[in-house]
Structure 1
Amino acid sequence: MPDFLLPTAFIDSAAPNIAAFARQAAGDESDEVTRAVRLYYAVRDGIVYTPYCDFHSLDTFRASAVLARGDGFCVGKAAVLAAVARASGIPARVGFADVRNHLCTPRLRALVGGDVFYYHGYTEMAVAGRWVKATPAFDRVLCDKFGVRPLEFDGRSDSLFHAYDRGGRRHMEYLRDHGAHADVPVDEIVATFAREYPRLMESSPRASDTQFRREAEESA
């Protein structure tokens, strides 16, 4: 368990902005479950989700850089939640799974060439004596535009994915779990993206943090 409290290359929990964010979000709350919940919502809604990142840049995966930029994709946001949890004294690690039918737009679907998204990132925190999973990727504003309920987290139960949208239609399905890691396995992720998403990696589209929200609104 101590390893999951230490800073790593990408879950850099000792970075000043990570520590400051954790203090502001958790306050002086002594209850571990409540701290975990506060941190989750602060990351979920405080960092804009965007899949349009420079995947050749290590800062796309580094928690302090994602927090400083204010936007990131699922892996970067999972790293931020793990980092602020560690900074708040909660053991944390990152997990990954391949999923089908993500929160997607026609442009993103064309770039990835289908509906399978590899290495979708989530966070695991050791709270009240057990590991719980939380996915802070999709912020409330984005979910509203897609017609999907944002994922809630109570600090005690796993909060992993949107199985159905508000209309009851199938929305996301987990296909394969890649397990939990003490740090983000960047080489593994980038190699998979290069193999599965050549168009995305070649273009490596860096867009404004509201680009995907606009696409979501247009495609809803």
Structure 2
Amino acid sequence: MQLIAGDPADYLGEDEIVDHSHPAIRDLARELRGAYPDDVGFGRAAFEHVRDEVSHSWDAEDPRITVSASEALEQGTGLCYPKAHLLAALLRADGIPTGLCYQLLTDDESTFMLHGLVAIHLEGSWHRQDPRGNKPGVDAQFRLDTEQLAWPVRVELGEQDYPEVFPEANPRVIDALRNAADLTDLYLRGLPAEL
């Protein structure tokens, strides 16, 4: 899929969601960069840290809702969206342009929801990566040659990949996260189903 993105410099900014100047994010980025001085190695290390060390709330049955990158890091949990925010923050903290991407997915072929992931600008082009977290049936890997995301899109079910790479998180996603009392409330209300 051809991604639609602006100038890579537009994907280095900070806001309250991708808060890459937060001390804990800066410290982790420095630690990972120290072990992996090349950009690809650092990108892989940051991806694997978020994928493997920050639990996916639903998989972990953790009712807490996190929104920002720093919240996901400090609490060690988050849905796909805050995990994507955290990966973007870690990479942006070290000057690697990273944007937010979305897919429209379904579990039951009638209820649709947005799924969050990132696109990283490395080696002159954009590469989508999905730090959601692996489990049986989900095997997302950091790859630059071909995508290996958590969820392949099933077009026949109405699912879709959105090709846009966004510099900021989707407002509907942020509103849904902020207005939910806990994970059960969020799922009962429904995850956003459109950009």
Q: Which TM-score band (shorter chain)?
A: 0.7 to 0.9
Percent of pairs with identical residues: 23
**Counterparts of 1:86-105 in structure 2 under 5 Å?**
86-101=92-107
Match in the other structure for 1:30: 37
**Counterparts of 1:122-133 in structure 2 under 5 Å?**
122-133=117-128
Match in the other structure for 1:138: 133
Does the 8 Å CA contact 2:67/2:81 hold for their aligned counterparts? yes
2:183 counterpart letter in structure 1: P
**Counterparts of 1:111-122 in structure 2 under 5 Å?**
116-122=111-117
CA distance in 2, matches of 1:176, 1:23: 36
Give aligned pairs, total: 171
Distance 1:184 1:11, change over 3 A: same
CA distance in 1, matches of 2:75, 2:35: 26
Task: Compare the two structures and name the one with the higher helix fraction.
Answer: 1
The 3-state SS of whatever aligns with 2:99 is: strand
Q: CA RMSD in A?
A: 2.9
2:76 counterpart letter in structure 1: G
The 3-state SS of whatever aligns with 1:27 is: helix
Structure 1: unaligned runs, 5 residues or longer: 102-108, 165-169, 195-200, 208-220
Give 1:203 deviation, angstroms.
Answer: 6.4
Match in the other structure for 2:16: 9
The 3-state SS of whatever aligns with 1:96 is: strand
Greater displacement, 88-97 / 120-129: 88-97
Structure 2: unaligned runs, 5 residues or longer: 1-7, 186-195
Give 1:88 deviation, angstroms.
Answer: 1.9
1:177 counterpart letter in structure 2: D
CA distance in 1, matches of 2:27, 2:167: 22
Give 1:190 deviation, angstroms.
Answer: 5.5
Distance 1:20 1:92, change over 3 A: same
CA distance in 1, matches of 2:127, 2:184: 32
Is 1:183 paired with 2:183?
A: no
Q: TM-score of the superposition, structure 2-length normalised?
A: 0.74
Q: TM-score of the superposition, structure 1-length normalised?
A: 0.67
